[in-house]
Amino acid sequence: MQERFWPYVLLALLSAGTAAILSVLDRPYWLIFLAVFFIVVIFALIRIALHDPVEEPASELITHHPPGALPAGFGRALLDQMPLALVVISPVGRITYGNKAAKERFPHVKKGDHFATLLRTPAFVDAVNEVIANGGSRKVAFSSGQETKRYYEARIGVLPAGSEFGVSEQILVDIEDRTLERRSDKMRSDFIANASHELRTPLASILGYIETLQGHAREDPVAQEKFLKIMNKQASRMQRLVDDLMSLSRIEMNAHVRPSTPCDIFDLVREAIASLKPLEAENHVTLDCRLPENGPTVPGDRDQLNQVFVNLLMNAMKYGDKGETVEVELAPETPESAGMLGITVRDHGQGIAPKHIERLTERFYRVNAAQSRNKGGTGLGLAIVKHILQRHRGQLRIESEPGQGSEFTVWLPLE
């Protein structure tokens, strides 16, 4: 305020002083008026030459630079095309601008909301509050979400006053989604750990038989035939293990992207059953599909859902008692499954003890490791099923009692 009006105060003092001096000297009034007039004219010329921008009215500044909005044109188009989510926050913590990537990433957030509605994570909220309070810049990494975790990295800085975003200082935040990168790193480490553990036994077996074939069994055709069959079985086991690990990795890579393609779920299940019909005689069981002819569609990845039912049917055929039937039928709706469709795969095998049920979907967890390996299992089938259903926002429910068989029910949200 003082910087704006001090020139006029100086003009008034100078004019008054000149008039007073001339009055004391008994000069005529017209001369006093003329002297003051010349002082005002000279002051006005100086002001025009200097063109002090502070003289522009505040309302006009606001008209040119409305707070919280970037004028349409190249700048807005450039920011909207950036892949990073950019958000501008006012000094009181309200969101004043978000580019296209921010709107896609956080569709629930609106202009004027508090910035904490973006990501309710203490690390992020504390970092933004610190920059608002103390200025400077911050870089913070954090995670968000419970069932499906996402990993972010945010950079927070101060926009100077008088920018297109407003006449006061603003906070600029860019948020980068690092979920895919973190999952890739985790899957790589998990793959190495799991593969080294599970591949060690069959690999050691193969190497041992190779050494035997190169030694005293070199001239023994019967031993050679026996050992080669064992080696082939162990190599096939390693191949299945690697295939399942790679399948699990691909599923986890896209776990945060929910499929949206409509699938005829009953047709998909019948297709999985038809593909396994040739194995009925080998496993001494019968596959019985009891689903209605026509059913609803569900949003999903057809190949992955086919993999779910093939895995469940294969397990039921392997672990069901010989001569029994594996039944596939519609599950009755429950209050907990409102808005979802359930399909049950039931076997009549030995059943599973309650203490094992909670851990069945863990990687490499087996109720009976020796039996699983003898039947060609890798310990990853139900882990794959669980991760596919999580991606589809579905659930797997397992019910079993020793001696009573097992029921595996797939619940999927309807369109």
- Chunked into runs of 10 residues, the chain (415 residues) has average pLDDT values of 56 72 70 69 61 34 39 63 88 90 88 89 92 91 81 91 76 90 76 71 84 83 87 84 81 81 91 89 88 87 92 89 88 84 91 86 74 68 90 91 89 87
All structural domains of the chain with their residue ranges = 2-55, 64-177, 178-257, 259-415
N-terminal to C-terminal alpha carbon distance within the chain: 63
Q: What is the DSSP string of 141-203?
A: EEEE-SSS-EEEEEEEEEEPTTBTTBSS-EEEEEEEE-HHHHHHHHHHHHHHHHHHHHHHHHH
- Whole-number pLDDT of residue 62: 29
Considering only CA atoms, which of 279, 195, 290, 268 is closest in space to residue 237?
A: 195
Write out the E strands in 18-94. Answer: 85-89
Tokens of 1: 């305020």
Q: How far is CA 236 from CA 207, 239, 362, 379, 409, in A?
A: 15, 5, 23, 15, 30
User: Which class is 64-177 in CATH?
Assistant: alpha beta
CB 265 within 8 A of CB 296: yes
Task: Classify strands 286-289 and 325-330 as parallel, antiparallel or unpaired.
Answer: parallel
Q: Which residues pair with 170 in a beta bridge?
A: 159
- Whole-number pLDDT of residue 257: 81
- Whole-number pLDDT of residue 76: 64
User: Which class is 178-257 in CATH?
Assistant: mainly alpha
DSSP-assigned letter for residue 93: S
d(CA 165, CA 365): 56
- Whole-number pLDDT of residue 372: 64
- Whole-number pLDDT of residue 293: 85
- Whole-number pLDDT of residue 66: 44
Q: How far is CA 5 from CA 9, 13, 55, 62, 300, in A?
A: 7, 13, 10, 21, 70
CATH 3.30.565.10 fits 259-415, yes or no: yes
Considering only CA atoms, which of 323, 319, 338 is closest in space to residue 398?
A: 319
